[in-house]
Amino acid sequence: MSSHGGDAARDGLGWMTDRQRDGGVDRISLPATVPGSLELCGKHAVATRFESGSWDTIVCLVERHELDGRYTDYLAWLDGAPPEAVWLPIHDLHVPSFDAMDELVSGIVARLRAGDRVLVHCAAGMGRAGTTAACVLVRLGSSVDDALATVARCRPGAGPEAGVQLDLVRRFADGLRGSPS
């Protein structure tokens, strides 16, 4: 039986598996020297489990309008700014400034090195979340190609979906600074 039983009855998608309904949660492989865990998912998966205690930190990359009206409890939790929540709204298929992403990635890496379980999500857990995960892996020492391959292997389809997202991952590797054009 689906853990989304109430939603399935309302939206007529009860025939779908949980994985088909919310995209599931996938763990991204990290270097063996990093004790924490990094997981990616879409907003549907996290919105019903954000208070489960499964993660030490939840990084939300969606804009408010993507949560309004459907995920009211999760939105209220984010608005309360608990210490385990990091909210960096990024417009779909776009990126934040290099400095904002650098700060986000630095915080994620520090948490991972401290042994924390970090969940990063966007709407579907693909583009914005995949780009962020690739930047984290680059910061942890992976090449761009290895980081992108790892993210795509661990969460099929995840990674940069737009040129500006791929450019940001490359700029992370090159150590370039400045706002994306």
**pLDDT for the residue numbered 169:** 98
**pLDDT for the residue numbered 43:** 94
**pLDDT for the residue numbered 85:** 96
- Confirm if 66 and 123 have CB atoms less than 8 A apart: yes
Helix, strand, coil share (%) of the chain residues, nearest 5: 45, 15, 45
- Confirm if 92 and 65 have CB atoms less than 8 A apart: no
* Predicted TM-score of the model (pTM): 0.87
Contacts of 134 (CB under 8 A, 6+ apart): 144, 147, 148, 151, 159, 160, 169
Tens digit of pLDDT per residue, the chain (181 long)?
Answer: 334 444 545 455 566 566 555 679 999 999 999 999 999 999 999 988 999 999 999 999 999 999 999 999 999 999 999 999 999 999 999 999 999 999 999 999 999 999 999 999 999 999 999 999 999 999 999 999 999 999 999 999 999 999 999 999 999 999 844 434 4
